[in-house]
Chains A and B, each alone.
Chain A
């Protein structure tokens, strides 16, 4: 069963506009969420995270929003740049439990930012 889902396989955005990537989860034990960016032939790079005690976290151009009641999170990139073109993965974990921080990932969304 897919506990973390990214339902949009791809997203195309114009440079300078906002990119919004979405993620849904089903496991109510998840309490810590992360976004990773991956370029071809490289490992995932950590971008930003959010704890379930918050509903928003910002870091520069990246903002993550968490809606616990809907079990939904989103990553906003403003303004989008061509260098942001990559695969974006949403991940979740039960930080407070006995899962030892293991991450459950979504399938990824390919973001393309056009100049």
Chain B
């Protein structure tokens, strides 16, 4: 299976700790997106990479959030000094064009 993979699938952390999530996109896709989904809502856009360049960031992405995509391959999303409001499902998607293919997500719980 060469779909989008995300690790870890679940993360429980205490408020104030830092967390990092990883996304491995479909290998031939040059576009990579991060979204956040909370209960009862659709996914909300966070940031976009074309190859290794981060071309857009949502205003939802505060200074505590940073994302990278070194060498245009896998991507990481780091949240520093986590807050309870950061609890959500973090989804990664990759795309060759306009149809995005999502990974299974990382569910973050901040206690």
Chain A interfacial positions (CB closer than 8 Å to B) = 4, 32, 34, 36, 41-46, 49, 89, 91, 93, 95, 99-108
Evaluate whether A89 and B101 lie within 8 angstroms (CB atoms) in the complex, with A101-B31, A102-B33, A102-B56 already known. no
- Interface pair B98/A95, CB less than 8 Å apart: yes
Evaluate whether A42 and B43 lie within 8 angstroms (CB atoms) in the complex, with A49-B98, A100-B31 already known. no
Chain B interfacial positions (CB closer than 8 Å to A) = 4, 6, 31, 33, 35, 40-45, 48, 50, 55-56, 91, 93, 95, 97-105
Residue of A whose beta carbon sits closest to that of B105: A43
Inside 8 A of A107's CB, which chain B residues have their CB?
40-42
Query: Which of B41, B48, B91 is in CB contact (< 8 Å) with A102?
Result: B48
- Interface pair A101/B98, CB less than 8 Å apart: yes
Inside 8 A of B50's CB, which chain A residues have their CB?
100
- Interface pair B42/A100, CB less than 8 Å apart: no
- Can you spell out 14 A-B residue pairs with CB atoms less than 8 angstroms apart? A4-B42, A34-B99, A34-B100, A41-B104, A43-B6, A43-B102, A43-B104, A91-B42, A100-B31, A101-B98, A101-B100, A103-B35, A106-B42, A107-B40
CB distance from B45 to the nearest CB of A (A): 4
- How many A-B residue pairs have C-beta atoms within 8 angstroms? Tell me: 65
Query: Which of A49, A100, A104 is in CB contact (< 8 Å) with B56?
Result: A100
- Interface pair A103/B100, CB less than 8 Å apart: yes
Evaluate whether A49 and B102 lie within 8 angstroms (CB atoms) in the complex, with A89-B42, A102-B48 already known. no
Evaluate whether A44 and B102 lie within 8 angstroms (CB atoms) in the complex, with A100-B31, A101-B31, A101-B95 already known. yes
Inside 8 A of A34's CB, which chain B residues have their CB?
98-100
5 shortest interchain CB distances as A-B pairs: A105-B42, A43-B102, A102-B45, A44-B102, A100-B48
Q: Which of B4, B35, B50, B98 has the most CB of A within 10 A?
A: B98
A108 and B44 CA atoms in complex are apart in Å by: 12
A93 and B43 CA atoms in complex are apart in Å by: 13
CB distance from A91 to the nearest CB of B (A): 7
CB distance from A40 to the nearest CB of B (A): 11
Query: Which of A4, A45, A102 is in CB contact (< 8 Å) with B102?
Result: A45
Given A46-B101, A101-B48, A102-B56: 18 more A-B contacts, CB < 8 Å? A32-B98, A34-B100, A36-B102, A46-B99, A91-B42, A100-B48, A100-B50, A100-B55, A101-B31, A101-B33, A101-B95, A101-B97, A102-B45, A102-B48, A105-B42, A105-B43, A107-B40, A107-B42
